[in-house]
Amino acid sequence: MASGTMWYGSAMAMNSTLDKIIRLGRGEEAADLLLKNGNVVNVFTGEILRADVAVGGGIIVGVGEGYEAVKVINLSGQYVCPGFIDGHIHIESTMLSPYQFARAVVPRGTTAVVCDPHEIANVLGLEGIRYMLEASEDLPLTVFVMASSCVPATHMETAGAALSAQDLAPLFDHPRVIGMAEIMNFPGVLYCLPDVLAKLEIAAQRGLPIDGHCPGLTGRDLQAYIASGINSDHECTKLEEALEKLRAGMYLFIREGTTEHNLIELLPVVTADNARRCLFVTDDRHPKDLMDFGHMDYSIRLAVKDGLNPVTAIQMVTLNPAERFRLYDRGAVAPGYRADLVILNDLKDFSVEKVFSRGHLVAENNSPLFDEPQKTYDVSSSANIVSKGLSFEIPVQGERVRTIGVVEGQIVTEALELPVKHRNGLAVADVDRDILKLAVIERHHATGNIGLGFVKGIGLKKGALASTVAHDSHNLIIVGTNDADMAAVAHAVIEMGGGLAASAGRQLLARISLPIAGLMSEAPFDIVRKEMDELLSAASALGSPLGNPFMALSFLALPVIPALKLTDLGLVDVNKFAFVSLFV
């Protein structure tokens, strides 16, 4: 398939008949494609076998010797793997449209993802989910969708929409909607909230997988959570937690994202006995990391470097996610399976040379070979903020404040109680102690809600950062050393209609415009990466030591991850699942 051609999906496979496939499998007719002299990674037996792979009608019709084909590619000992599958990702968190995301990850060997579009769903509701489904049609990357269960994630923030079980039910008629997405409101499950249970029931009635999200949950509460029908989790950060969840029957999703680096910590839990219950996932990953390090290929490479068997690592991004999500047409190099194939030079660096989707060459030498489907999408405005008279003033009401403590490399935070600096009766940032002011402004309904607080660990020495990417309701979040720069950067983001920005001295230093729900850019991924590099450079110049302070910032408004978070409605003690006062 040459560069510049349009991708037409599965028309060839749809036209194939069973008797044709059988004749091809028996070698009675020439196949469409023959990958000859390859080392085939057999994910069923853990073996690597020298064999040819014959493809016809978009599926693998035979693995062995003696096949002929219209087109033959001599692999000369290169490795043939199934296409990689990311079992849990929020595409919106890449800040790329589905097409640009595909251009970034397909050359890295990813041929399918299971996404939870709850970021855009929390902004635009069903309109957002439908956009993700429509915009991912006719791509060589199969985008499966889990129906977003937490819109809003909790009652402790203002989201752009609210989706009930009844709202979600029609989505399951779509062939690529394959289950219920992560049930983040685990207290809602344990307290038997009717709307949460209703969502569990509609998935259970259809016999669909239900993903979990229960950081730190243990003991009888964990048992009850799993008994409700939820059987996966991607929030483990400790070995003991991971092992308890595996023992209780959960699939363990081992996450390696941009902010959350759990793979090395959790890898020792993976054994020959339990590996088939383990998957590598990314959850959230920025363009810089996709371009510099990779996608699922990076997780495999990292795991193998740390001592995991290469074939086991490949199973964890192929057969394991395919079977967990009941995608029985993919995940292996075997007859009858979809011809989504990755050609590797070795099983150490996992350098991807070629990628096939349904037997079509769609990427080679890290370059995509497909164009964007010719479609247009209208997405509603999503930056509805009352900007006049914004105030970030915090009157002093005590000597100590509850402060969010950033934990680098994790999305959990600390709940600190620290002395507050004040001036003229107002609590202010204390740059010398790295205690900065934090604000969350409601952006969906122009309510004027502003949550104010403090954070330690971002490290700015001057200026301010702002973003409309703020999980999960994606209100406008701002961190700054002074109110003037916080106001300036807020106005810059509002004028863009959503995005990320950095300012100092009331001057805009760098920005990324995210016109798609305030979450995604329409620009090519290399441009988004360039703009992100400029933003990160600006943040570094302002003093932040974090590799990606915007990613860290994006999780400070997430009131389902312990311990302390800030929403537009106020400061949340996640462990108590309750609002708390800023001053102690």
Contact criterion met (CB below 8 Å) for 408 and 577: no
Contact criterion met (CB below 8 Å) for 178 and 142: no
Stated as kind and residue range, the H or E segment containing 236 is none
Domain assignment present for residue 443? The answer is yes
326 and 410 part of one domain: no
Last residue of a domain, one of 310, 332, 354: 332
Question: 248 is written with which tokens?
Answer: 């209780």
- Cis omega before residue 310 (within 30°)? no
* Listed residue (137, 132, 140, 134) closest to 107, CA to CA: 140
Average pLDDT score over residue span 500-518: 96
In angstroms, the CA 395 to CA 108 distance is 52
404 and 318 part of one domain: no
- Report pLDDT for 160: 95
pLDDT-derived band at 9 (thresholds 50, 70, 90) equals very low
Q: How far is CA 540 from the centre of its chain?
A: 25
- Report pLDDT for 436: 98
Q: Which residue has the tokens 């793997």?
A: 81
Q: How far is CA 521 from the centre of its chain?
A: 16
Domain assignment present for residue 43? The answer is no
Please tell me the total count of domains within the chain. Answer: 2
In angstroms, the CA 526 to CA 512 distance is 13
328 and 425 part of one domain: no
- Report pLDDT for 157: 94
328 and 404 part of one domain: no
pLDDT-derived band at 14 (thresholds 50, 70, 90) equals very low
- Cis omega before residue 563 (within 30°)? yes
**DSSP calls for 76-135:** TT-EEEEPEEEEEE-GGGGTB-HHHHHHHHGGGTEEEEEE--HHHHHHHTHHHHHHHHHH
Q: What percent of the chain has pLDDT over 70?
A: 97
Query: Residue 195 maps to which CATH number?
Result: 3.20.20.140
Domain assignment present for residue 349? The answer is no
Task: Give per-residue pLDDT as tens, 93-137.
Answer: 999 999 999 999 999 999 999 999 999 999 999 999 999 999 999
Task: Give per-residue pLDDT as tens, 452-471.
Answer: 999 999 999 999 999 999 99
**DSSP calls for 488-510:** HHHHHHHHHTSEEEEEETTEEEE
Domain assignment present for residue 28? The answer is no
412 and 316 part of one domain: no
What is the 8-class DSSP label of residue 516? B
In angstroms, the CA 113 to CA 86 distance is 5
In angstroms, the CA 228 to CA 202 distance is 12
Domain assignment present for residue 39? The answer is no
301 and 419 part of one domain: no
Give the structural domain span for 187.
83-332
In angstroms, the CA 290 to CA 540 distance is 21
- Report pLDDT for 270: 98
Last residue of a domain, one of 272, 300, 332: 332
274 and 192 part of one domain: yes
Neighbours of 328 (CB within 10 A): 12
**DSSP calls for 397-412:** -SSEEEEEEE-TT-S-
Average pLDDT score over residue span 493-521: 96
- Report pLDDT for 519: 96
Domain assignment present for residue 283? The answer is yes
To the nearest whole number, what is the mean pLDDT of the chain?
94
Last residue of a domain, one of 313, 332, 351: 332
541 and 461 part of one domain: yes
* Listed residue (184, 156, 159) closest to 473, CA to CA: 159
Domain assignment present for residue 363? The answer is no
Contact criterion met (CB below 8 Å) for 405 and 416: yes
Question: 485 is written with which tokens?
Answer: 């720069």
Beta strand 499-504 pairing with 464-467? antiparallel
Average pLDDT score over residue span 474-501: 96
Task: Give per-residue pLDDT as tens, 227-280.
Answer: 999 999 999 999 999 999 999 999 999 999 987 899 999 999 999 999 999 999
Domain assignment present for residue 484? The answer is yes
- Report pLDDT for 408: 84
325 and 188 part of one domain: yes
Contact criterion met (CB below 8 Å) for 492 and 478: no
Contact criterion met (CB below 8 Å) for 344 and 351: yes
Contact criterion met (CB below 8 Å) for 447 and 434: no
- Report pLDDT for 2: 33
Contact criterion met (CB below 8 Å) for 144 and 176: yes
Query: Residue 3 is which amino acid?
Result: S
- Given a cut of 90, whether residue 547 has pLDDT beyond it is no
pLDDT-derived band at 7 (thresholds 50, 70, 90) equals very low
In angstroms, the CA 281 to CA 115 distance is 11
231 and 92 part of one domain: yes
- Given a cut of 80, whether residue 6 has pLDDT beyond it is no
187 and 276 part of one domain: yes
Average pLDDT score over residue span 61-69: 97
Task: Give per-residue pLDDT as tens, 15-49.
Answer: 458 999 999 999 999 999 999 999 999 999 999 99
Task: Give per-residue pLDDT as tens, 159-208.
Answer: 999 999 999 999 999 999 999 999 988 988 999 999 999 999 999 999 99
The angle subtended at Cα 164 by Cα 562 and Cα 560, nearest 5°, is: 0
Question: 90 is written with which tokens?
Answer: 């929020």
pLDDT-derived band at 331 (thresholds 50, 70, 90) equals very high
Overall pTM > 0.85: yes
* Listed residue (430, 457, 459, 482) closest to 540, CA to CA: 459
pLDDT-derived band at 373 (thresholds 50, 70, 90) equals confident
- Report pLDDT for 321: 98
286 and 203 part of one domain: yes
